[in-house]
């Protein structure tokens, strides 16, 4: 026999006694009907009668009447459904505690299927999130690696509002926890770090953990956004919060009564958001000059929605993780806690090498090379550069049986040249003979690959001049690139936000690669005067005030609505750096590059 506090009461009596609570708090009616019907407690006609009843509360009354007519077993099963599908009947969980409900052995063997739209949507989100996050995209579309086979922890330093260290996060699953929160009123967890330090991968891992229920949170919804997505909207475009969530993540199925959205509004603490790459939209936010939106029903510009979410004007209490490059400022009152990504420690680097190379002999050879070159090793604390370096080692080994990089003192320029060589040699080589490795001849590879390389460089420069990281098929063709060139790996498709079914757009594998190629285009163009090589320097010298977004647009009431071509500066710094490196090879060595890179 199951237990309820009013020990002598029958389940039927409990339903009568607590009828008011049940009528006012029971929401997901379909799930109750589905299960009652599957177990034969109600027939099709009963279901129709309930569904034809006008209001939700009257529907609950009808169901209560029905189960009470069917007897004790039906009444207990009704309570058992509420007990089992706790997400959907979250409002009634305190009531179950109050009556001290424990299922009887008889009812515990009965099946309950969760057909509630909220739970189903949560499952759908988890499923899609798991599918979308289980691979790390590398080498364009050429090669994808399972996240779990390559993900390595990085140093995650907790900071206070004065950027003083509060220690290090032990593991990523604690990111959403209360540890090191310096401003409980703040709504946003701010993760910052240099280009390529692994901010996006960290979010990907976080999303993947949530999809597998491996994250310390009881959030049942998780919405992920790349901030650059917000740039695809025209200035005049307006959307609702519902569209932002569902259209740009995933739609709830079978939810005629909008229960999912209502639930999100009622229980925002059950929602996690990640917004990746705030630096990419900082200037766009500067231009917004209308007051913040606070109504979840209103349509407004998506950037307004973003600001309202980050400030907690919308869905207050939801958890938000925002990433940005080092140097981007947010007002402290918005920030709940701050995490600075510091890249791989020597121990992480060792783990990462071991994941890359299965054979002990190879691991040792690579480690010896890295130990012999402190500059190279320094670069490898940044996961992106580490990935390039290790890929290059692997490529040299596969193609030429060698594990030796050309110089012991290596600059970023060398690293990107090596990456380009790897890409270009893919097109040049027929499969290497099983017995004989080819002899490496970098100059020959570049000579043969000059046409596509110059075309990619032109494309990169044009994008840089426009302040754009996305290129259309048309621009690609105009630069003389063929379909075959696209498979080299310099570009990767960006299709995630192309809901209109329009032609595909592309982005460079990484923004630093685009910067390098843009610099390459400048030095390639022999017609250009020497001073034009450094043309982005003037842009970077217009140093901007650190922004106190997301509030300063309220203060600066009117700003020009025209978008400036040079929105952010770091990639331009990088282009300048590469241009000056290329102009005088070997001058700023890797460590120097690293310092400039952080400017």
Ligand X SMILES: Nc1ncnc2c1ncn2[C@@H]1O[C@H](COP(=O)(O)OP(=O)(O)OP(=O)(O)O)[C@@H](O)[C@H]1O
String of contacts with ligand X for each residue 488-527, x by CB under 6 A: -----------------------x----------------
Residues 386-405 touching ligand X, rule: CB under 6 A, are 387
Q: Output the CA torsion 449→452→458→462 (10° steps).
A: -140
Minimum CB–partner distance for residue 138 and ligand X (Å): 6
Minimum CB–partner distance for residue 275 and ligand X (Å): 12
Please give the Cα distance from 575 to 518 (Å, whole number).
6
Minimum CB–partner distance for residue 322 and ligand X (Å): 12
85: β partners: none
Please give the Cα distance from 160 to 18 (Å, whole number).
49
DSSP-derived letter for residue 548 is -
Minimum CB–partner distance for residue 326 and ligand X (Å): 9
Residue 175 lies near ligand X (rule: CB under 6 A) = no
Q: How far is CA 322 from the centre of its chain?
A: 9
- Contact predicate 410/590, CB 8 Å: yes
Residue nearest to ligand X (CB): 198
Question: Which range of residues in 144-152, 167-175, 178-186, 551-559 is near ligand X by CB under 6 A?
Answer: 144-152
Residue 459 lies near ligand X (rule: CB under 6 A) = no
Minimum CB–partner distance for residue 226 and ligand X (Å): 9
Phi, psi (5° rounding) for residue 267? Answer: -125, 65
Please give the Cα distance from 248 to 230 (Å, whole number).
11
Residue 195 lies near ligand X (rule: CB under 6 A) = yes
Exposed e or buried b per residue across 453-485, where buried means at least 16 C-beta atoms within 10 angstroms of its C-beta: bbbbbbbbbbbbeebbbbbebebbeebebeeeb
Binding-site member from 117, 140, 186, 198 for ligand X (CB under 6 A)? 198
Binding-site member from 151, 506, 569, 574 for ligand X (CB under 6 A)? 151
Please give the Cα distance from 226 to 507 (Å, whole number).
13
Please give the Cα distance from 263 to 399 (Å, whole number).
56
Question: Which range of residues in 11-19, 188-196, 252-260, 578-586 is near ligand X by CB under 6 A?
Answer: 188-196
136: β partners: 145
The residue (of 12 and 489) whose beta carbon lies closer to ligand X is: 489
Residue 594 lies near ligand X (rule: CB under 6 A) = no
Please give the Cα distance from 162 to 20 (Å, whole number).
52
In 3-state terms, what secondary structure has residue 556? coil
Binding-site member from 384, 479, 522, 533 for ligand X (CB under 6 A)? 384
Residues 304-343 touching ligand X, rule: CB under 6 A, are 325
The residue (of 199 and 337) whose beta carbon lies closer to ligand X is: 199
Minimum CB–partner distance for residue 279 and ligand X (Å): 7
- Contact predicate 521/454, CB 8 Å: yes
Question: Which range of residues in 379-387, 456-464, 518-526, 541-549 is near ligand X by CB under 6 A?
Answer: 379-387
Residue 152 lies near ligand X (rule: CB under 6 A) = yes
Minimum CB–partner distance for residue 346 and ligand X (Å): 15
Binding-site member from 16, 37, 138, 462 for ligand X (CB under 6 A)? 138
Please give the Cα distance from 136 to 290 (Å, whole number).
39
Binding-site member from 12, 117, 186, 193 for ligand X (CB under 6 A)? 193
Residue 275 lies near ligand X (rule: CB under 6 A) = no
Q: Is 357 left (phi over 0), alpha (psi -120 to 50) or beta?
A: beta
Chain residues in the site for ligand X (CB under 6 A): 136, 138, 150-152, 154, 193, 195-201, 277, 325, 383-384, 387, 511
């Amino acid at each position: 026999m199951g237990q309820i506090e009013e020990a002598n009461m029958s389940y039927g009596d409990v339903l009568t006694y607590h009828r008011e609570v049940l009528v006012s708090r029971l929401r997901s009616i379909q799930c109750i009907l589905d299960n009652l019907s599957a177990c034969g407690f109600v027939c099709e006609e009963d279901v129709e009668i309930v569904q034809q009843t006008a209001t939700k509360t009257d529907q609950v009354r009808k169901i209560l009447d029905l189960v009470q007519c069917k007897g004790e077993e039906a009444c207990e099963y009704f309570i058992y459904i509420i007990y089992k599908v706790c997400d959907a009947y979250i409002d009634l969980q305190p009531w179950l505690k109050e009556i001290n409900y424990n299922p009887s052995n008889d009812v515990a063997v009965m099946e309950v299927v969760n057909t509630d739209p909220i739970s189903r949507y949560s499952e759908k989100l988890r499923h899609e999130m798991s599918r979308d996050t289980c691979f790390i995209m590398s080498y364009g579309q050429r090669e994808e690696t399972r996240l779990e086979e390559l993900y390595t922890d990085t140093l995650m330093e907790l900071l206070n509002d004065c950027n003083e260290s509060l220690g290090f996060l032990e593991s990523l699953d604690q990111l959403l926890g209360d540890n090191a929160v310096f401003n409980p009123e703040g709504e946003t967890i701010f993760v910052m770090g240099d280009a390529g330090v692994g901010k996006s991968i960290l979010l990907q891992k976080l999303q993947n953990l949530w999809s597998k229920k491996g994250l310390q949170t009881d959030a049942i919804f998780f919405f992920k956004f790349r901030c650059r997505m917000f740039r695809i909207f025209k200035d005049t475009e307006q959307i609702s919060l519902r569209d932002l969530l569902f259209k740009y993540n995933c739609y709830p199925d079978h939810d005629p009564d909008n229960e999912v959205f209502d639930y999100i509004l009622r229980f925002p603490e059950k929602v996690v958001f990640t917004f990746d790459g705030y630096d990419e939209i900082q200037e766009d936010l500067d231009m917004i000059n209308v007051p913040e939106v606070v109504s979840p029903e209103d349509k407004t510009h998506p950037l307004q929605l973003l600001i309202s979410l980050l400030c907690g004007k919308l869905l207050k209490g939801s958890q938000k993780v925002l990433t940005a490059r080092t140097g981007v400022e947010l007002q402290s009152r918005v920030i709940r806690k701050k995490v600075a990504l510091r890249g791989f420690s020597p121990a992480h680097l060792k783990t990462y090498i071991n994941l890359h190379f299965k054979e002990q002999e190879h691991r040792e050879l690579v480690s010896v090379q890295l130990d012999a070159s402190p500059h190279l090793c320094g670069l490898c604390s940044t996961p992106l550069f580490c990935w390039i370096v290790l890929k290059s080692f692997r490529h040299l080994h596969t193609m030429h049986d060698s594990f030796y990089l050309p110089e012991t003192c290596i600059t970023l320029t060398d690293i990107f040249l090596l990456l380009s060589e790897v890409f270009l040699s893919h097109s040049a080589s027929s499969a290497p003979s099983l017995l004989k490795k080819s002899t490496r001849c970098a100059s020959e590879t570049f000579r043969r690959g000059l046409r596509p390389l110059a075309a990619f460089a032109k494309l990169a420069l044009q994008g840089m001049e426009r302040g754009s990281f996305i290129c259309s098929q048309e621009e690609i063709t105009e630069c003389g690139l063929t379909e075959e060139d696209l498979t080299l790996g310099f570009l990767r498709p960006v299709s995630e936000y192309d809901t209109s079914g329009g032609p595909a757009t592309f982005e460079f594998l990484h923004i630093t690669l685009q910067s390098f190629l843009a610099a390459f285009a400048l030095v390639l163009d022999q017609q250009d005067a020497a001073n034009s090589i450094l043309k982005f320097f003037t842009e970077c010298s217009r140093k901007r005030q650190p922004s106190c977004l997301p509030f300063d647009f309220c203060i600066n009431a009117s700003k020009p609505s025209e978008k400036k071509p040079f929105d952010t500066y770091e990639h331009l710094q990088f282009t300048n750096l590469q241009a000056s490196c290329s102009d005088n090879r070997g001058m700023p060595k890797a460590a120097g590059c690293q310092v400039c890179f952080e400017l």
